[in-house]
Chain A
Amino acid sequence: MTDLAIELSGVGKTYPFFSLDNIDLKVPEGQIMGLIGPNGAGKSTTIRILMGLVHQDRGEVRVLGHHMPAEQVAAKWDIGFASEDMRLYESMTLGWHMSFIQSIYSSWDAAYAQLLLKRFGLRAEQKIKGLSHGQRVKATLLLVFARRPKLLILDEPTTGLDPVARHEILRELTNVMADEGRSILFSSHNTQDVEQISDQITFIDRGRIIDSMDKETYLDRWRRVRLEVPFGIDLPALPGIIGIRRDGRLAVATANEFVPGLANAYESAGARIQCIESMTLEEIFVANVEHSREEVEA
C-alpha cells in the first residue's frame, strides 16, 4: 500500500457567503492529481487548507503524513508551493530570490537551477519588476522546481502563459514524474493540461467534490451519443444518461456512466444511433457543471 502524499477527510470550512463541505481527497505518492472546477468553486481554499494557511473548521488534513495546520512547518520543508496570487519581491532580482531559497533549503540543485534559467529564457540579474507576467510565473516556478520538493502544490501554474511557456512548464512537471516518490497536485483552468498529465482528476463545484477518480476511468465513463430520432418517438430515460438535447430529428445524449450497450435501449425505442463519441475533459467539465447546477435548482 503506497503512502498517501495528501489525505483530506471530511474537510469543511464555512465563510459568510461560501462553504466548503465534505471534502474527501486522496493522492497516493507518485501520482499527479488535477483539480478542476469553475471560479469560486473552492479550489484555492482547498489548496490553502493543504498548506496550513487556512485552518479547516471540520475534518482532518494530512500532507506527507503531517497533520495540518499543526505540523505545517515540518510539511513545508518538502512542499513546493506556487499560487496564482503569489508574488516575488519586485525590487529584488531573480538571482537574489534564488540565493534566498538556496540559503534555506539544502535540497537546492544549483546546476538544475541554471539549466532552468536557460530553458525558461530568464536571467538571474533581472529585477522582478522588469519581468513580464509570463516570466514572473516561470521565475516563481523555477524557485519551486530547482528545490526538487517531494510534493508540488500548484494553484493555476500555467494560467496566463503563452503556448511555448506552457509547454516548458509541462515538460518540467512531467520530469517530476520520473521519480516515483514525488507527487503533484495542481489546479488549472487548462483542461487540456489536466487531461494530458493527470493520473487522477478531482472536480469541485460550489464547495463540493462532484467527482474524484482516476483519469482513464473517468474519461471512459463519459460519452456523447448522437441519435437520429423520427418524429413521434419518445426517448426513454436511461440510467447513466444525464442529459438529452433534441433539435428536430437529431438528438444528443450525454452519458456520465457509460457502459457498452447502454445506448441500445434507444434503438429499441425506434431511434438510430449515428455514433458514440468520447468527450474531451473540457466538454465533460461544462456538462458536469451544468448538470450539477440543474440538480441544485430542481
Chain B
Amino acid sequence: MKGSVAGHLILKDWQLYRMPIALSIVGGVMSLAIFQWGGGWEGTMVVGSVWFYVALILVGTMLPLVGIVNERKKQNLAFVMSLPISPIQYTTSKLVSTVGMFLVPWLTLTISGLMLVEARGIVPRGSIPMMLILDAMPFVGLCIITGVALVGESEGWGIAANVFCNSSYGLVWYFLSRVPALMVNTKGPVPVWNSTVLSVLSAEFGSIVLILGLTFYLQSRKRDFI
C-alpha cells in the first residue's frame, strides 16, 4: 500500500480544481486592489468590496457543485468507489478537500484584506469585526452547500442549497446591520470585540462544525451509496 487512498483522492481534487482556485484568488486580489487604490471614492470601494465577496461566494459554490455533484452526475463516483476506500473515507476526503481548497482563497483574501485595513487605513479599523463576520458567511455557505451536495446526491439539491445561500447573504447582512451592538464601533479607530460580536462569530463557526458533523453522520447512515 502506498500512502492512504483518501490522501490520493484529496490530491486528485487539488489537481482537478486548482485552476478555479487560482482564478478566485486573482479575482479577489484584484477587487481588493480596486478597493484600496481606487482613489478613495465610495463607488470604487463598494465595487471592490462587492467583488471581493463575489469571488469568495463563487469559489464557495463552485467547489462543491463541481467537485461533488458533478463527480456523481458525470459518473466519476463509481470510478472513485472502485478504489479501496469506504463510503466514510470518501466523505472524509471530500470534506477535507472541499473545505481545504476553499480555505486557500479564503485565508489569502481575508488576511490580505485585514492587512490592507491595518496598513492603509482607508477604512477605519473599527470595522474589522464586522468584516470578519461578513467574511465568515461564504465559509458557512460553503459548508451548507457541501453538506447538501454530499447527502442530497442530486444536482437539484446542490442548486437548491446554492440558491438558498446566495439569497440569504443579503438578508442576514441586513439584519446584522440593524443590531446596534455590532454597528456602534465600526467607524471607530480601534476594533472592539464586544460580546455580541463574539457571539455572532462563534455562532458562525459553531454552525460550520455542526453542519460538517451532521453531514458526516448522515453519510454514515446511508445503505446505498451509489
Contact = CB atoms under 8 A, between A and B. Distances in A.
Interface residues of A, number: 31
B16 A92 contact: yes
Interface stretch (B80-88, B103-111, B143-151, B191-199): B80-88
Contact of A86 (B1, B78, B85, B86): B78
Contact of A76 (B3, B16, B79, B83): B83
Interface stretch (A50-58, A109-117, A205-213): A50-58
Contact of A103 (B8, B81, B82, B84): B8
A76 B89 contact: no
Given A72-B86, A76-B83, A86-B78, A100 B12 contact: yes
B84 A85 contact: no
Interface string A17-51: 00000000000000000000000000000001001
A108 B224 CA distance: 30
Given A77-B1, A106-B2, A86 B82 contact: yes
Interface string A93-122: 000100010011110000000000000000
B178 interface: no
Main secondary structure of the interface of B (DSSP, over half): loop
B226 interface: yes
Nearest to A49: B224
B82 A104 contact: no
B75 interface: yes
A77 B16 contact: no
Contacts of A103: 2-3, 8
Contact of B226 (A53, A100, A106): A53
Interface string B176-195: 00000000000000000000
Interface string A69-83: 100111011010111
Contacts of B12: 100
A53 B86 CA distance: 9
Given A86-B78, A87-B75, A87-B76, A73 B85 contact: yes
A90 interface: yes
A88 B225 CA distance: 18
Contacts of B2: 103-106
A282 B15 CA distance: 46
Given A53-B81, A73-B89, A81-B82, A104 B75 contact: no
A53 B225 contact: yes
Contacts of A76: 82-85
Give 8 nearest A-B pairs by CB, closest first. A86-B78, A81-B82, A76-B84, A55-B223, A87-B75, A53-B226, A77-B84, A54-B224
Given A100-B12, A106-B1, 9 more contacts: A53-B81, A53-B226, A54-B226, A55-B223, A73-B89, A82-B82, A87-B74, A100-B8, A140-B79
Interface of B: 1-3, 5, 8, 12, 15-16, 74-76, 78-79, 81-86, 89, 223-226
